[in-house]
Amino acid sequence: MSMNDAGRRSAIGQAAGVRRPLAVRRIRAVLEAMLFAANRACMLLLVCAFALPFAWMLSTSLKTLPETMIFPPEWIPAEPVWSNYAVAWNSGPFLTYLLNSFIVSVGILILQMLTIIPAAYAFARFRFPGKGLLFGLVMATLMIPAQLIFLPVYLMLSDWKLLNTHLALILPFASSAFGIFLLRQSFMQTAEELIEAARLDNAPEWKIMLRIMAPLARPVLVTFALFSFITHWNDYFWPLVMTTNESARTLPLGIAKIRETEGTATWNVLMAANVMLAVPVLLAFFAAQRQIIRAFVYSGVK
Amino acid sequence: MARIELIDVVKRFKGETVIPNLNLTIREGSFTVLVGPSGCGKSTTLRMIAGLERQTSGDIRIDGELVNDTEPGKRDVAMVFQNYALYPNMTVRGNIEFGLKNRGVPKRERERLIRDICEIAGLTPYLDKKPQSLSGGQRQRVALARAMVKNPKVFILDEPLSNLDAKLRGQMRTELIELHKRLGTTFVYVTHDQVEAMSMGDRIVVMNKGEVMQAAPPMVLYEDPDNLFTAQFIGTPPMNVLPASRLPGLRTEGEGHAEFVGFRPEHALLSPETAELTREGLVIAGQIATRESLGAEQVYKLRCEAGSFFVKSFLNPYVGGDFALAVVPFERLYFFDRDGNRLRRLRAVRPQLAAAGV
Ligand SMILES: Nc1ncnc2c1ncn2[C@@H]1O[C@H](COP(=O)(O)OP(=O)(O)O)[C@@H](O)[C@H]1O
Ligand SMILES: [Mg+2]
């Protein structure tokens, strides 16, 4: 690009003598500055779109109830009301919710890892009869919303006496078509020579999968893990349908209950609960951040 | 140390025949180089020996043992890939150790082997580094160490030097030759570069379109090629080939009808047109099109009635102007039939009349 610029500039210089290039350069500089500013403005807009609601949630969680109703709204509460958090925490069996959320989200994650790695590996590496059809079926499940299948699944789990257990929330998500798809792409990009080198090193198939391929797909695995964790951590619909009492209920249900029980909506307490819901997700994100960026700029071997 | 035999080996990819029928014996302990233009099936041949690709039909024997159904890991073959194929998630130590672990070598033994091999390969300071942080030459050494540590019967190397810069390549060439001497293991080495082949191999297999054109020691290939392809593949610049019918000064006797006449650029001698010819041979008059000086040697490109050809001289630059007579001694002429096969029973003889009319 710089060569092009230089070429263009010198061409202009030859055509217009000595004076014009300076003006041209100045115009270019202004244009570049404007572009830069526009770029930053867009970024700022994006950041605001995501950060402002979050900041609003934080701010509301520290207000008194009357303060949440003030118009025009104020950003900084007169005095932060930390007790909102205690109220939220004590408004129900929050420790149970929290534990349930962890058991369910992490349980799903572990099962998914156990299933998507071999599945993606098989789809990426092997040729077997019906492969296309099977993969098509897996992809088709991506288009089926939970609302469509919850009834039969509910009946099945009810048959198995699994309602109101963690398993009812975990088992239906034991595998992920999205994960299989994502990982298969990544496996297919792995250089064939690496696998061949491993075969010459007498490595059994499972070792090629776990010691060579999976580590290479780590950024993709981490990214998927995060998506999965956030999805199931925040999931409201499925736990709502599959549980009828507190024993297996998760945080989003607990938070929704705050709204139901108090008559008028206590936004400040609700937001405090929401902050508590978001913190583990944020922590997970920061832990995985580097890997996620690598997953998107990942360029194969070497 | 092992002999490798390929017997009637055929390889097709989805109906496309890449290797029509290959019969090749690679002698035990030899440094055999497969050389040929890109896409002629060198890598495919190597991969079939290693077991990474299965031949469509035919047999492969290593050390007398039929290995058609033997897994790559069980063939006692180590391979060095063009792009090294180091495991990026493992350290240098991990890369070298992986194969040993898979063979169930005990930890103590593994550590000793790795220490020894890294000593030899000069990798000791890098044992705990990842391949990405090493230079091309160091990666190459890791790939070699990973292959050597398994103490295989056969070493297979597929264009292992082509990713290195010229200087390092020269150095690694020497190191590989020394390595072969020290280990005495059978080396099968693939390259498309005839200079590399000539300088490294003790036996060279020239391939074209999946067929062996000639398998012989380097000097035999150079001095006694079986066919036009080999003649024109070996040498820099390659052998000159002109149609026999367009060379009026040529008389032959013996068996066969020469369609093409070949001679090496370094065997022709340039003299000015006016000079008295002191040497006996085929005389071709030509116009000098280009001159290239490489210091010790000069390379001229001449154009004559029959086509253009090169002359290489180690003497002082030719000063006789733009026209010259190239004289090629009769015994330095090679004859080929219409299919490019060498006619060994044909000799050039002095014409009845003087060659002055050329
Ligand atoms: N896996 C494959 N599928 C289809 N064709 C292949 C495959 N591998 C190699 N070929 C073809 O076989 C021919 C020989 O390839 P290769 O052995 O790699 O040549 P070389 O190593 O001599 O350059 C080429 O025409 C190539 O396109
Ligand atoms: Mg090749």
CA of B202 to the centre of ligand 2 (A): 21
Which of B74, B79, B110, B133 to mutate to probe the A interface, most A CBs <10 Å?
B79
Mean predicted lDDT score pLDDT of chain B: 92
Ligand 1 binding pocket mutation candidate from B9, B33, B43, B53 (most atoms within 8 A of CB): B43
Cis status, amide bond into B329, omega within 30 of 0: no
| B353 confidence band (pLDDT: 50, 70, 90) | low
ipTM above 0.85, yes or no: no
Residue A10: its pLDDT value, please?
Answer: 47
Can you tell me which atom of ligand 1 is nearest the CA of B37? 22
- Tens digits of residue pLDDT in A92-142: 898 999 999 999 999 999 999 999 999 999 999 999 999 999 999 999 999
Residues lining ligand 1, judged by CB closer than 6 Å? B 13, 18, 36, 38-44
Point out the residue among B74, B78, B87 whose CB comes nearest to the CB of A194.
B87
- The whole-angstrom distance between A217's CA and the closest CA on chain B is 10
CB atoms within 10 A of CB B40: 21
**Atom 17 (ligand 1) nearest CA:** B41
CA of A239 to the centre of ligand 2 (A): 57
Residue A301: its pLDDT value, please?
Answer: 40
Kindly list the averaged pLDDT for each block of 10 residues, start to end, along chain A of length 302. 45 49 86 93 91 91 87 85 90 91 96 97 94 95 88 94 94 94 93 93 94 92 92 93 90 85 77 91 87 66 38
Ligand 1 binding pocket mutation candidate from B18, B33, B211, B212 (most atoms within 8 A of CB): B18
Overall average pLDDT of the B277-290 stretch: 86
3-state secondary structure of A285: helix
Q: Tell me the domains of chain B and their CATH numbers.
A: 4-229 (3.40.50.300), 237-356 (2.40.50.140)
Q: Give the Cα separation of B33 and B176 in Å (integer).
A: 12
Contact B72 A200 (CB under 8 A): yes
Percent of chain B with pLDDT over 90: 79
- Tens digits of residue pLDDT in B227-259: 999 999 999 899 999 999 998 888 888 888 999
Judging by DSSP bridges, how do beta strands B16-26 and B4-13 pair with one another?
A: antiparallel
Give the phi and the psi of residue B312 in degrees, each rounded to 5: -115, 130
What does R_g of chain B's alpha carbons equal in angstroms?
Answer: 25
Whether pLDDT at B330 is above 50: yes
3-state secondary structure of A205: helix
Contact status, residue A100 vs residue A166, Cβ threshold 8 Å: yes
3-class DSSP string for chain B:
CCCEEEEEEEEEECCEEEEEEEEEEECCCCEEEEECCCCCCHHHHHHHHHCCCCCCEEEEEECCEECCCCCHHHCCEEEECCCCCCCCCCCHHHHHHHHHHHCCCCHHHHHHHHHHHHHHHCCHHHCCCCHHHCCHHHHHHHHHHHHHCCCCCEEEEECCCCCCCHHHHHHHHHHHHHHHHHHCCEEEEEECCHHHHHHHCCEEEEEECCEEEEEECHHHHHHCCCEHHHHHHCCCCCCEEEEHHHCCCCEEEECCCCCEEEECHHHCEEECCCCCCCCCEEEEEEEEEEEEECCCCEEEEEEECCEEEEEEECCCCCCCCCEEEEEEEHHHCEEECCCCEECCCEEEECCCCCHHHC
- Tens digits of residue pLDDT in B339-351: 999 999 999 888 7
Q: Give the Cα separation of B206 and B169 in Å (integer).
A: 21
Contact status, residue B267 vs residue B329, Cβ threshold 8 Å: yes
Residue A257: its pLDDT value, please?
Answer: 84
